[in-house]
Amino acid sequence: MTRVELTELARQDLDSLVQTRELPASTYARVADSLESLRIAPLAGRALAGRYDGLRLVVGPWGWIALLYEYLEADDLVLVVGVMDGRSRGAPNAS
């Protein structure tokens, strides 16, 4: 089964969203739940292009949280590289 890990930057992104958006402490568990499907289907997220070429996106526990990741097939690893407010300027389109 594919491993799913968050980079330190993704963890910092998530911490920042929890603080600035006043999200509940359960957000961390909810994000983990949102990523669980990638353990079985690591390419399930939408492939991105342009600025985010090479990354994929899944929507987090709320429709506005974008979880950006890269699938490293040789290592069978999903590496979450960013957690963003999908409503913010410069965020990939989550629709």
Residue 40 domain-assigned (yes or no): yes
Residue 8 domain-assigned (yes or no): yes
Domain range holding 71? 3-85
Residue 33 domain-assigned (yes or no): yes
Residue 90 domain-assigned (yes or no): no
Residue 92 domain-assigned (yes or no): no
pLDDT band at 93 (very low <50, low <70, confident <90, very high): low
- State the total domains in the chain: 1
**Chain segment 42-88, per-residue pLDDT in tens:** 999 999 999 999 999 999 999 999 999 999 999 999 999 999 998 98
Q: What is the CATH number of the domain that holds 42?
A: 3.30.2310.20
Q: For residue 53, what are the CA distances in angstroms to 23, 36, 47, 73, 75?
A: 29, 23, 8, 16, 20
pLDDT of 15 above 80: yes
pTM for the whole thing? 0.91
Task: Of 14, 13, 7, 28, give the one whose Cα is nearest residue 70.
Answer: 7
Give the pLDDT score at 90: 77
How many CA atoms lie within 13 Å of 32's alpha carbon, on the beta-carbon side?
Answer: 6
Partner residues linked to 78 by β-bridges: 4, 71
Residue 91 domain-assigned (yes or no): no
pLDDT of 94 above 60: no
Residue 44 domain-assigned (yes or no): yes
